[in-house]
């Protein structure tokens, strides 16, 4: 699954979960293939993000889990503060979870 | 040659006081200040003034709609933004959008860091049920204002500071050595010149020195903790390559333990994900302007 701003949506992408408007009304169910009209309607109704199936868009700034972990190690190099080390563990956990959720 | 830090500090402050070579605020800010002070002015009149300026209106609405405030619905008018954010926040957004326009052309990393800290400050404020979470978010946006000023208005000194940092001097000491004053104090100094609320000024002034706080210890602690967490997560880029030191007192003052920190980081993550799209959009626009 991938969460995308409405401007990134293309017809043919499939919803991963329901799409709601600002008032919490369901605009579209899950597993529905998007059409041009639906996307237009989302943007008119002020929907900002829609979660779709798979990872149809390659986002140049997104990193792999390995890259993320490597950079994390580098940022924490030489740090011995107990609180910071625990924060590091939390971030590690977060990264694992994030990448587990986004892999197909 | 040995620089006398206190002499240098005087020189820096003099330059700041005269606003020599500093980024200029749009004239609308001056006008807004007058209107806010004048009790007869209605919110509608203020909204009208802002709406007359299309460029400012666009910028303000864009910031208001970016993920760091996390409003569930789109903010589409200045009036709405004013109702949701309050006039102080709106004023700061107008200032910030102008100041940061300069910086995100030169230093996207610092801009990203700042909006990350704004988002995190908002989350922490809500977590501890602090009043005026929006205002604290805005302080987050401005917390490194001094760095922007150093980079834009004290170019030679900035060079020397980065040289010292490359020799492993920590950034705060490097700033103090070269300028006699650090970026937190410079930012606060300028915020005072701009008549921003004392609460925000003290928070920014003390975000690296919690012992300097008088009245607003929690505000400063929120900025300090957000700054560390955003660095730890690796969002944006500042003079710190690694994670800066965490003052454990911040956790005590905010009454937060590691389980809460975990919740904060897990709430922050999707916000940062959304903010990335926002920043990319700005980058594209800048590239378009230059091309």
* Closest B-chain CA to A46: B74
Q: What is the rounded CA–CA span in Å between residue B111 and residue B285?
A: 15
Hey, what are A47's tokens? 């929907």
**Mean pLDDT along residues A49-74:** 94
Band of residue A21 on the pLDDT scale cut at 50, 70, 90: confident
pLDDT (tens digit per residue) in B233-260: 999 989 888 899 999 999 999 999 999 9
Do the domain assignments include residue A31?
yes
Do the domain assignments include residue A57?
no
Do the domain assignments include residue A87?
yes
Q: What is the rounded CA–CA span in Å between residue B140 and residue B142?
A: 5
Band of residue A66 on the pLDDT scale cut at 50, 70, 90: very high
Hey, what are B179's tokens? 């300028």
B257 has a chain A CB within 8 A of its CB: no
* Closest A-chain CA to B233: A91
- Tally the domains of chain B: 1
ipTM reported for the complex, 2 dp: 0.89
Hey, what are B14's tokens? 């003099």
Do A41 and A18 fall within a single domain? yes
Q: How far is B203 from chain A (nearest CA, A)?
A: 22
Q: What average pLDDT does chain B have?
A: 87
CATH number of the domain bearing residue B185: 1.10.3210.10
What pLDDT is attached to residue A43? Answer: 87
Q: What is the rounded CA–CA span in Å between residue B143 and residue B148?
A: 10
CATH number of the domain bearing residue A15: 3.90.105
- Tally the domains of chain A: 2
Pairing of strands A19-20, A49-52: unpaired
CB atoms within 10 A of CB B237: 15
Do the domain assignments include residue B3?
no
Do the domain assignments include residue A7?
yes
Do A46 and A8 fall within a single domain? yes
Q: Do B78 and B198 contact (CB within 8 A), yes or no?
A: no
B242 has a chain A CB within 8 A of its CB: yes
Range of the domain at B115: 11-282
Do the domain assignments include residue B287?
no
Do the domain assignments include residue B290?
no
Range of the domain at A22: 2-52
Does the pLDDT value for residue B282 go beyond 70? yes
Does the pLDDT value for residue A36 go beyond 80? yes
Answer positive or negative: Cα dihedral of B70, B73, B77, B82: negative
Could you tell me the CA-to-CA distances from B194 to B10, B74, B185 in Å, in that order? 19, 29, 14
Higher pLDDT, B51 or B234: B234
Q: What is the rounded CA–CA span in Å between residue B32 and residue B91?
A: 8
pLDDT (tens digit per residue) in B65-93: 877 777 777 788 888 888 888 887 887 78
Q: Phi, psi at residue A14, to the nearest 5°?
A: -110, 135
Chain A interface residues facing chain B, Cβ-Cβ under 8 Å?
3, 5, 8, 22, 46, 48-49, 59, 61, 68, 71-72, 74-79, 81, 83-84, 86-88, 90-91, 93-94, 98
Do the domain assignments include residue B43?
yes
What pLDDT is attached to residue B2? Answer: 59
pLDDT (tens digit per residue) in B208-217: 999 999 999 9
Do A40 and A80 fall within a single domain? no
**Mean pLDDT along residues A32-43:** 94
Does the pLDDT value for residue A103 go beyond 90? no
Is A77 in Cβ contact with B274 (below 8 Å)? no
Could you tell me the CA-to-CA distances from B7 to A80, B149, B155, B179 in Å, in that order? 37, 19, 18, 9
Is B274 in Cβ contact with A90 (below 8 Å)? no
What pLDDT is attached to residue B104? Answer: 66
DSSP output for A17-61: S-EE-TTS-EEE-TTPBP-HHHHHHHHHTT--EEEESS--S--TT
Q: What is the rounded CA–CA span in Å between residue B283 and residue B291?
A: 12
Is A94 in Cβ contact with B265 (below 8 Å)? yes
Among B37-51, B142-156, B194-208, B247-261, the minimum mean pLDDT is found in B37-51
Do A48 and A73 fall within a single domain? no
Do the domain assignments include residue B4?
no
Do the domain assignments include residue A71?
yes
Do A77 and A47 fall within a single domain? no
What pLDDT is attached to residue B291? Answer: 44
Of B242, B266, B276, the CB nearest to A76: B242
The residues in B 132-161 lying below 8 A from A, measured between CB atoms, are none
Do the domain assignments include residue B26?
yes
């Amino acid at each position: 699954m991938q969460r995308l701003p409405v401007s990134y949506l293309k017809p043919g992408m499939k919803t991963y979960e329901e799409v709601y408007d600002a008032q919490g009304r369901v605009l579209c169910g899950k597993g529905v293939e998007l059409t041009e009209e639906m996307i237009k309607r989302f943007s008119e109704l002020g929907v900002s993000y829609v979660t779709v199936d798979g990872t149809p868009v390659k986002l140049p700034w997104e990193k792999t889990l390995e890259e993320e972990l490597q950079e994390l190690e580098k940022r924490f190099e030489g740090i011995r503060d107990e609180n910071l080390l625990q924060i590091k563990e939390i971030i590690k956990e977060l990264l694992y979870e994030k990448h587990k959720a986004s892999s197909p | 040659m040995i620089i006398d830090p206190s002499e240098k500090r005087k020189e820096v402050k003099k330059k700041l006081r005269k606003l020599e070579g500093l980024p200029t605020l749009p004239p609308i800010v001056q006008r807004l200040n007058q209107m806010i002070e004048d009790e007869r002015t209605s919110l509608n009149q203020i909204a009208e003034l802002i709406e007359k300026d299309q460029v400012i209106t666009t910028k303000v609405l864009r910031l208001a709609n970016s993920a760091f405030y996390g409003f569930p619905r789109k903010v589409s008018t200045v009036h709405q933004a004013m109702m949701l954010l309050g006039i102080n926040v709106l004023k700061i957004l107008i200032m910030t959008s102008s100041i940061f326009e300069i910086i995100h052309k030169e230093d996207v990393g610092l801009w990203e860091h700042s909006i990350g800290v704004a988002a995190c400050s908002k989350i922490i404020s809500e977590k501890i049920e602090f009043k005026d979470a929006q205002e604290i978010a805005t302080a987050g946006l401005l917390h490194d204002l001094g760095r922007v000023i150093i980079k834009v208005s004290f170019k030679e000194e900035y060079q020397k500071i980065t040289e010292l940092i490359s020799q492993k001097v920590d950034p705060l000491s490097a700033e103090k050595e070269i300028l006699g004053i650090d970026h937190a104090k410079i930012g606060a100094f300028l915020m005072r010149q701009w008549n921003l609320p004392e609460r925000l000024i003290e928070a920014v002034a003390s975000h690296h020195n919690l012992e300097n706080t008088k009245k607003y210890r929690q505000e400063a602690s929120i900025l300090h903790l957000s700054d560390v967490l955003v660095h730890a997560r690796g969002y944006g880029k500042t003079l710190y390559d690694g994670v800066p030191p965490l003052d454990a007192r911040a956790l005590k003052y905010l009454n937060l333990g590691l389980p809460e920190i975990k919740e904060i980081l897990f709430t922050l993550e999707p916000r940062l994900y959304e903010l990335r799209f926002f920043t990319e959009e700005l980058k594209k626009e800048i590239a378009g302007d230059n091309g």
